[in-house]
Amino acid sequence: MSKFSKNILITGGAGFIGSHVVRLFVNKYPDYRIFNLDALTYAGNLENVKDIEQAPNYKFIKGNINDIGFINDLFNENCFDAVIHLAAESHVDRSITNPNDFIETNVLGTANLLNAFKASHKENLGDKLFYHVSTDEVYGSLGKTGLFKETTPYDPQSPYAASKASSDHLVRAYGNTYGLPFMISNCSNNYGGNQFPEKLIPLFINNIKHNKSLPVYGDGNYTRDWLYVLDHALAIDEIFHKGTIGETYNIGGFNEWTNLNLIKLLCELMDKKLNRAKGSSEQLITYVKDRAGHDRRYAIDAGKLNRELGWMPSVTFEEGLEKTVDWYLSNDEWLEHMTTGTYQEYYKKMYN
């Protein structure tokens, strides 16, 4: 008899959001055995989970969800009770230059996990759960008003969004066709420590630190709804334990910002933290060519999650942003490791 009450596989746990989810589950549920499966792509880094690597209920497995043979063996050997699936290619700009990477990992990789999970339980899926972590980008772009609800029709606009939408459809189809117990959550833009500095907030923090220009796409009047990463992890915990099988939950920060207003707030904060003259970081703002097919506005209605499970973000944006800036400024080594080598090539190709 195992001393653990559940074996849970978390995919993508060396990445940004995954590392926060893994840490929360390992520390909060010592009776769960947490397996962290990650291919350690450019975005995955074991430094993100260093503090829990010795925990008795934690095991890291390096592996690729696109490798069918490996995935089937892994599921047959471990008979996971639940999967929390976060592994993905996650950056819109990369999906514009390399869409096939997104189709392989986000669509086919998800299908591999679904097939292996189903087969490993010989179709007796009764109390099992496949929890799929998705994004608000599947709903497309909003006009000036309105919010994404769970019932909003899918209308993905980037290869990234289309690949995530496909994976959501696959999960629901496996629920409908094979009776696979699943839940899906679609979350807005996350920010916080451990995010790869290709996404807006960590990229701009790093650039300000090094007095590099801040490349604002188009007119900068694009709107996103920002959520602190730990609040996303806490929402996943609530949904995983209290959500209803077969349901979808939107997760958001009730926190819309245009890119320009967010960048100005970040600049102000960085000036203070770096003891620089007020207004100096803002001078680094440079308008650059817009992203192809750039979605104008995302905003989530997280009312269902609040009403049914009582979840609310725990920090304000100002608090979360300050914690985030402090994290990057006190983790020089992490930032350095992430921004050497291939990052420099990526940066040149994207921004020069």
**Residue whose C-alpha is closest to residue 15's, from 338, 286, 340, 343:** 338
Nearer to ligand TYD, 118 or 224 (CB): 224
Q: Which residues lie below 8 Å from residue 237, measured CB to CB, with a gap of 6+?
A: 21, 24, 25, 28
The letter for the amino acid at 198 is: E
Q: Which residue is catalytic, options 136, 231, 295, 301?
A: 136
CA angle 240, 230, 16 (to 5 degrees): 95
Nearer to ligand TYD, 82 or 161 (CB): 161
The entry of ligand NAD, ligand TYD, none near residue 236 (CB within 5 to 8 angstroms by kind) is none
| 184 in Cβ contact with 235 (< 8 Å) | no
**Residue 136 a catalytic site member:** yes
Distance CA(74)–CA(194), nearest Å, equals: 27
Choosing from 92, 133, 201, 263, the residue that interacts with ligand NAD (CB under 6 A) is 133
**What's the gap between Cα 313 and its chain centre?**
16
| 258 in Cβ contact with 222 (< 8 Å) | yes
| 230 in Cβ contact with 314 (< 8 Å) | yes
Nearer to ligand TYD, 191 or 249 (CB): 191
Please choose, out of 62-70, 113-121, 202-210, 320-328, the segment that lies near ligand NAD by the rule CB under 6 A: 62-70
Q: Is 64 in the site for ligand NAD (CB under 6 A)?
A: yes
The entry of ligand NAD, ligand TYD, none near residue 64 (CB within 5 to 8 angstroms by kind) is ligand NAD
Nearer to ligand TYD, 57 or 167 (CB): 167
Q: Is 338 in the site for ligand NAD (CB under 6 A)?
A: no
**Residue 282 a catalytic site member:** no
| 248 in Cβ contact with 33 (< 8 Å) | no
The letter for the amino acid at 267 is: C
Q: Which residues lie below 8 Å from residue 322, measured CB to CB, with a gap of 6+?
A: 269
Q: Is 14 in the site for ligand NAD (CB under 6 A)?
A: yes
Q: Is 87 in the site for ligand NAD (CB under 6 A)?
A: yes
Choosing from 8, 9, 18, 215, the residue that interacts with ligand NAD (CB under 6 A) is 18
Q: Is 40 in the site for ligand NAD (CB under 6 A)?
A: yes
Q: Is 156 in the site for ligand NAD (CB under 6 A)?
A: no
**Residue 336 a catalytic site member:** no
Sign of torsion over alpha carbons 270, 187, 129, 80: negative
Interface residues with ligand TYD (CB under 6 A) are 92, 189, 199-200, 203, 215-217, 222, 224, 259, 291
Q: Which residues pair with 37 in a beta bridge?
A: 11, 61
Residues engaged in binding ligand NAD (CB under 6 A): 12, 14-18, 38-41, 43-44, 64-66, 86-90, 105, 109, 133, 135, 164, 187, 189-190, 196
**Catalytic site residues?**
136-137, 160
